[in-house]
Structure 1
Amino acid sequence: MKRIQLDNVYSRTKTAGLASVEMTFIVPILLIIMMGIFELTQVIQANNIIISISREGANLISRNSSQTPEQVMDTIASTSDPLDLNQDGIIYINLVVGREDDGGNPIDPVLSQQYRWGDFGYTASSSTWSGCSEWTGDDNGICNMDSDPVLTDFPLQLDSGESVYVVEVMYRYSPISTLIFDSDFTIKEITYL
């Protein structure tokens, strides 16, 4: 009888010791997995916010003639919470106009106007056209172009006189830890409307 009790005590002690050793190995792995899931969730959320801001900006600028591009950019940037576009973002609004050759065939469009958000906190070049050398206006938000630049690699074919607004939103994402991403990277969205 005493031998059976000693075997039960020994067996319970051995099981408890194995459980604590298993936990020592498993808990760090679970924490790493949880941090990775949290980081990826933050990136997905930031990407969704940037997509929404870009689409809403294109919607507002293409339908609203009473607001200036700067007012539209201020409006959409104010909806970016929890992202801080004033510190880590930049917005461009471009007006691209189609044209045709002498035979009436569409050719490469031109950039008619380019606006940059005045309260930006992150410096990044526009993907539509990055050749602006002088920004003017109240918030230094209007590109001073001598002539309308031709956009040879524009992804849309426009008919003569047809115009499209291109809204670009860029955000510098700083990872919470270096577990998955080892440095900052840019989340970018471009909307054509």
Structure 2
Amino acid sequence: MNSIFKTVASSDISISELMLPSNTNFSGKIHGGYILSLMDQIAFACASKFSGNYCVTASVDTVNFLKPIEVGELVTMKANVNYVGKSSMIIGIRVEAENIQTGKIKHCNSSYFTMVAKDKEGNSTLVPRLILTNLNEVRRFYNCIKLIALKEEKNLHKEAFDYRSEKALENIKKYNVRVEL
């Protein structure tokens, strides 16, 4: 176990970028894939800043696109470490878009990225332990514990499902599909 402790604030990072027409999807809104790419970049920067090591993305938990982002809006992403394991960190990311003419800010999405610190040989390496300095940081830490517990619970209940059985093939009909084997 690492004997070094760091505060959540030591991991704080933010980036802002003006959204350009080149980043749009076919409906004229900013492409979700582009936003995900930026989120991955800030997660890397946050985890690397906190751990002092190169970091890789291990998983991305639910990303709900709450509001569309328009061309010309200033997107700001804020990230910090919410949880640490031995070599992993859960990075919380908040995405906001600001209409730079009116100053109105909207929350567009939030997500958790699990990042793993790597040493120069590419092996997982220990990360600093976390100092929680306020109740909001405690809340975020507990939310990550719940997230981890839900993942573990889900893995415990994975069943070997026989999708080939007559019962399964008959049951699938209620899902707006037709099976033609």
More strand by share: 2
TM-score under structure 2 length normalisation: 0.27
TM-score under structure 1 length normalisation: 0.26
More helix by share: 1
When Rg is computed on C-alpha atoms for both structures, the one with the higher figure is 1
